[in-house]
Chains A and B, each alone.
Chain A
Amino acid sequence: MQIIKDKQRVDNTWQFIADDAALVAGDITVSLDRWLQDRADLVAHNGKVGLRLKASDSVADFAEDLANIKLVELDFADFADGRSFSQAWLLRGRYDYKDEIRAIGRYLPEQVFYLSRVGVNAYATEKTPDLDAVLNNLNDFTVKYQSSII
């Protein structure tokens, strides 16, 4: 599966491990609950580890551990739930997170300009044609009133 990362199409190298599934080798993402519960095992994991955040998760709950987290996926259950935008902003602006922040789930390709401005730099889409829409819509505006996070 391809995603958009830093305005390029690239292959996705990560897989999400459900809370009740065993860890597998390679780059994986897990829920925040699992991270908080199995932190020691995950830090020792053979491969990179990332988090898949729900909109209701608190960034402060893992902020001190960001050096161990190489990807944060913002999982939109509902495109209208704007908490994910603040999660991204906090990760970049408050906690100086430098690795990948990826929008996944039910956000709209129409929202990617805003997402990019709060620090999201990668986009997985449910439908492949949406990848083109994402690339296109990242350029919706050439001007802005507020400073962006990156």
Chain B
Amino acid sequence: MYQYTENDQTLIDERVAQFKRQTENYFKGELSEDEYRALRLRNGVYIQTHAPLLRVAGPYGLISSKQVRKLAHIARTYDKNYCHFTTRQNIQFNWPKLELVPEILAELATVQMHAIQTSGNCMRNTTSDHLAGVAVDEIADPRPYCEIIRQWTTLHPEFDYLPRKFKIAVSGALNDRAATQFHDIGLHLVKNDAGEVGFKVFVGGGLGRTPIIGQVIKPYLEQKHLLSYLEAILRIYNLFGRRDNKYKARIKILVKETGLEEFTKLVDAEWAHLRDANELSAERVDELKAHFASPAYDLAADTDTSFAEHKVNDKAFATWLAHNTAAHKVSGYTAVFISLKAPDMPPGDVTDVQLDAVADIADAYSFGEIRATHRQNLILADVKQADLYTVWQKLAALELATPNIGTATDMICCPGLDFCSLANAGSIGVAKEINEALDDLDYIHDIGELKINMSGCMNGCAHQSVGHIGILGVDKKGAEWYQITLGGSSENNAAIGERLGPAVAKDEITKAITTILDVYVKNRLEEETFLEAVNRLGINPFKEQVYANN
């Protein structure tokens, strides 16, 4: 993974010093609440219901074992012994003391981590495919480009006070695992007829209150033009994005109100001034590619036979393998999911003890690297098949091996009313209740691939509008109610879920979900996934059953 240069380190150290001063000035009364708010947000600090929340950047999801140990240390020293992985591959601490945040940031800086631009109306952490570099369907490794974008977006002097937040995601594979079509800018690595890698550029996608699927603004952008083209889009957005209404300030609204054709003309006219002056050199790309060279794989890894024996002899291991691993480009290696969706833990939460243990496992079995996925799990990307049984046993002992990746209980869930000052309804408690209702693993496995996403308010942090089943918490006269959508997807076949009907009360939501699953099981064709069934059947058969008694 990327290792900081001296300049990178100086930059984050100087940022820590700057934020320390800003925090001191705030406590001295020299910065107003509003002024400090803008500054602290750009350093990852929100004020939540109970305490500040600190969001640390996980650059395109990559974290080293050393960094994971530091996160464990921070959870233990400054928080309540746990942290939370988000849908944008970041890490959140829910209970730090505001006056100690500069100290926490200084600790993070010692392991090349920071919280720069993880919130606020600026360019956010660039996200990517959690299987980058190991995926079997990869066209090109997105990580070098992610790092180029990370650097370009970090402390950009012109674009730090945008109309609203701005998120970029990059996918280098045939199958989009980074929800790129729901980002302000989505980049797909593609090859042209000459076999050269470039970018298909999507713009104006987004979730939240007004979910919109991104549109293609440039079918093929040459690699050398990456940064000049991003600059053109950002300048047009900075100058013309709406600032009169924060709910209409995202670039998706500008693209929608301007029309893609006219918006493209504006961007191209701006780009014409920039494209030749600011080229990304092939040398620079190669320099970054060297940071992401493949680790020293054992080329005889696939000659191991113990793996096959364990698979036959241990049913639980076989079940875990079937659900919690992904194919690897190198024969004899496997990418292993660490499930952060154990039934009794809030989705995405992990304790300091688990973090330390995961760091040890990564060091021993996966080149010391851990990745965060956008569905709030972790990955060990490079595990030898001979080590899988041991890794499984170790993860199982830590309650990190629930064999539920990609299934009904692998829910995406926001902190909800329990922590978030924006939320209208609880989400963690509902997730727990659904989890308890679906405690039969055979049933979960029979249902198969299913993405349930649940947000506690219409800001949609848990991407409910693109869940195969989406659950949205709403406030009705002080009571918590839940709207259900079906048929959303954030993958290649991007779609926004359709509303099933009126919101259901809190004590009926779990029943509604199990009813929906029953309808699927009764009506599915052979091999048909839940999403395929919804697309074939439409929502009516589900609606009829869910509202049958009302």
Contact = CB atoms under 8 A, between A and B. Distances in A.
Interface of A: 79-83, 85-86, 89, 94, 108, 110-111, 113-115, 117-118, 140-148
A80 B121 CA distance: 9
* Chain B interface mostly: helix
Given A79-B38, A114-B157, A117-B157, A143 B238 contact: no
Contact of B152 (A81, A82, A110, A146): A146
A82 B238 contact: yes
Interface centre among A111, A142, A143, A144 (most CB of B within 10 A): A143
B238 A80 contact: no
The 3 A-B residue pairs with the shortest CB-CB distance in the complex, in nearest-first order: A82-B161, A117-B157, A114-B157
Interface in B263-295: 273, 278
22 contacts: A79-B38, A79-B161, A80-B121, A83-B243, A85-B158, A85-B159, A85-B161, A85-B238, A89-B235, A108-B38, A114-B155, A117-B158, A141-B11, A141-B155, A142-B14, A143-B10, A143-B11, A144-B155, A144-B157, A145-B152, A145-B156, A146-B152
A145 B238 contact: no
Nearest to A55: B243
Contact of A110 (B7, B39, B162): B39
Given A82-B160, A82-B161, A110-B22, A143 B14 contact: yes
Interface string B1-28: 0000001001100110110001000000
A141 B156 CA distance: 12
Bin chain B's interface residue count: 20 to 34
Contact of B158 (A79, A113, A118, A141): A118
A83 B7 contact: no
Contacts of B273: 94
Q: Is the interface of A mostly helix, strand, loop or mixed?
A: loop
Contacts of B152: 145-146
A114 B160 contact: yes
A83 B10 contact: no
Nearest to B9: A143
A145 B15 CA distance: 13
A86 B22 CA distance: 25
B110 interface: no
Contacts of B156: 145-146
Nearest to B162: A82
Interface in B146-193: 151-152, 154-163
Nearest to B234: A86
A112 to B, nearest CB: 11
A135 to B, nearest CB: 14
B14 A89 contact: no
A113 B15 CA distance: 12
Nearest to A130: B30
Given A82-B162, A141-B14, A146 B157 contact: yes
Given A143-B10, A144-B157, 7 more contacts: A82-B161, A94-B273, A108-B35, A141-B14, A141-B15, A142-B10, A145-B152
A147 B22 CA distance: 25
A83 B236 CA distance: 10
Contacts of B35: 79, 108, 110
Contacts of A147: 278
A4 B225 CA distance: 37
B300 interface: no
- Which of A94, A108, A148 gathers the greatest number of chain B CB atoms within 10 Å? A108
Nearest to B154: A145
A94 B158 CA distance: 14
Residue among A82, A86, A118 with the highest chain B CB neighbour number at 10 A: A82
A117 B157 CA distance: 6
B397 interface: no
A143 B7 contact: yes
Contacts of B548: none
Contacts of A144: 11, 155, 157
Nearest to B122: A82
A8 to B, nearest CB: 22
Contacts of A145: 11, 151-152, 154-156
Nearest to A140: B18
Contacts of A140: 14, 17-18
A140 B18 CA distance: 7
B239 interface: yes
B155 A83 contact: no
Contacts of A80: 38, 121, 161
B344 to A, nearest CB: 42
Given A94-B273, A144-B155, A83 B14 contact: no
Nearest to A117: B157
Interface string B277-318: 010000000000000000000000000000000000000000
B482 to A, nearest CB: 34
A80 B32 CA distance: 14
A69 B238 CA distance: 25
Contact of A86 (B31, B121, B158): B158
- Which one of B11, B159, B160, B161 has the greatest number of beta carbons of chain A within 10 Å? B161
Contact of B238 (A83, A141, A146): A83
A114 B158 CA distance: 7
A83 B162 CA distance: 8
Nearest to A106: B35
B222 to A, nearest CB: 20
A82 B151 CA distance: 20
B477 to A, nearest CB: 34
Contacts of A85: 157-161, 238
Nearest to A78: B243
A38 B408 CA distance: 69
Interface string B372-412: 00000000000000000000000000000000000000000
A118 B160 CA distance: 12
- Which of A118, A141, A146: most chain B Cβ within 10 A? A146
